[in-house]
Amino acid sequence: MAGRGSSDWFGKLERWKDVLEDDKGQIILLVGIVILSIVFSSIFKDD
């Protein structure tokens, strides 16, 4: 089970590598990081 999960992660990483070679992919990643940081900061503020 663990081996299957790790291989799935490697597949996702390979897909992300293909996406990151594209400029749009980098923009999407940046936007995702910004959204995640905002969500995390709001969660910590509620605590």
Total-model pTM: 0.46
Convert the pLDDT of each residue in 1-47 to its tens digit. 455 667 788 888 888 788 777 788 788 889 999 999 999 999 888 76
* CA atoms of 25 and 31, how far apart (whole Å): 10
- Please, what is the angle between helix 23-46 and helix 2-20, to 10°? 120
What's the token pair of residue 19? 């996406």
CA–CA–CA angle 20, 13, 34 (5° rounding): 55
Residue pointed to by tokens 């992919």 = 25
